[in-house]
């Protein structure tokens, strides 16, 4: 019994040492930066946990499109929606001053796209017009909130769609998540506690195909590392403030194990390049820590 106790004491000591080294690395990356940086890491198989400002509610920006996609796919699982059903985009759906690859491809609008394609645009390309059409389809942000609440997701709030966020900087802060909440919801998702096995695999593949934020958590990881992630970015306001430069995702390690990581850079007066470099450097530090 004494040997077993010593074994667990050793494991515990190693975990504390691992966190300490990682914390030093992350602190050196964020030190002196005019920004609030939220970080959360969760090892899926070994339950390793690390967080910095982990319980602080921080603006999600487009990271919330993951939560929206999960809500849509839950309705698909229930048979209330179909991936094949067509969504019609009117001219007034194609808002101009917003990020929208759909609008770029279909500038004249009046086009019907399958739900599956709109999901891909919304998650993998972070399309804002596609996002708002999906929200309208499911009954608005309150439907997403109810779904997340029903799955026991804490520390998450969604009140506004993209159009509303573009009209008010205040609205950006009312859609939020704690970093710890975001890695925990990714673990629930991975474990099949949010969606059916089919829908989980489907959304994982869309997220692995994410084309935004290539200079964030994936930038310094080895090429072809599977990273199922969702990015978010506010741009700068007239005072040079970046409300959010975010990324969260599930990383698959060379040994087949996994961890979730969230890096939210909020209320930053740093340049876009510095903000994204912080996300990238923190991601690399975590990767190196898991691959010792």
Q: Please confirm, yes or no, whether 62 is among the known catalytic residues.
A: yes
CA dist 237 → 51, 156, 223 (Å):
28, 24, 34
Among the options 40, 51, 62, 100, which is catalytic?
A: 62
**Phi, psi angle pair for 258, to nearest 5°:** -140, 155
Please pick, among 40, 100, 126, 162, the residue that the annotation labels catalytic: 162
For residue 37, what is the DSSP state? E
Structure tokens at 216: 């964030």
DSSP SS3 for 230:
strand
- Please measure the distance between the N-terminal and C-terminal CA atoms of the chain and give it in whole angstroms: 30
| Known catalytic residue at 245 | no
Strand partners, 89: 111
Q: Which residues on adjacent β-strands are paired with residue 259?
A: 43, 251
How far, in Å, CA of 261 to CA of 231, rounded? 12
Query: What per-residue string of b and e applies to 100-112 under the rule 16 or more CB within 10 Å gives b?
Result: bbbbeeeeeeeee
Which residues are tagged catalytic?
Answer: 62, 162
């Amino acid at each position: 019994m004494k040997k077993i106790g010593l074994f667990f004491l050793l494991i515990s000591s190693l975990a504390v040492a691992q966190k300490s080294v990682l914390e030093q690395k992350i602190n050196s990356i964020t030190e002196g930066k005019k920004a609030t940086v939220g970080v959360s890491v969760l090892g899926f198989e070994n339950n390793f946990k690390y967080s910095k400002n982990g319980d602080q509610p921080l603006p999600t920006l487009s990271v919330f499109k993951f939560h929206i996609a999960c809500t849509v796919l839950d309705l698909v699982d229930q048979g209330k929606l179909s991936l094949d059903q067509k969504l019609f985009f009117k001219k007034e759906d194609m808002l101009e001053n917003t990020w929208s690859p759909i609008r770029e491809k279909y500038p004249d609008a009046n086009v019907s796209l399958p739900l599956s394609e709109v999901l891909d645009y919304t998650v993998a390309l972070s399309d804002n017009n596609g996002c708002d059409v999906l929200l309208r389809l499911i009954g608005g942000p309150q439907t997403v909130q109810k779904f997340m609440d029903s799955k026991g997701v804490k520390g998450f709030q969604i009140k506004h769609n993209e159009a509303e966020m573009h009209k008010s900087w205040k609205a950006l802060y009312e859609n939020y998540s704690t970093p710890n909440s975001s890695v925990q919801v990714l673990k629930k998702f991975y474990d099949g506690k949010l969606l059916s096995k089919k829908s989980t695999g489907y959304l994982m593949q869309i997220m692995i195909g994410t084309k935004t934020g290539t200079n964030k958590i994936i930038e310094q990881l080895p090429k072809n590392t599977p990273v199922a992630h969702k990015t978010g970015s506010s741009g700068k306001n007239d005072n040079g403030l970046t409300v959010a430069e975010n990324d969260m995702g599930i990383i698959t390690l060379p040994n087949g194990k996994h961890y979730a990581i969230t890096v939210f850079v909020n209320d930053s007066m740093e340049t876009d390049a510095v903000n994204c470099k912080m996300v990238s450097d923190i991601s690399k530090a975590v990767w190196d820590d898991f691959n010792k």
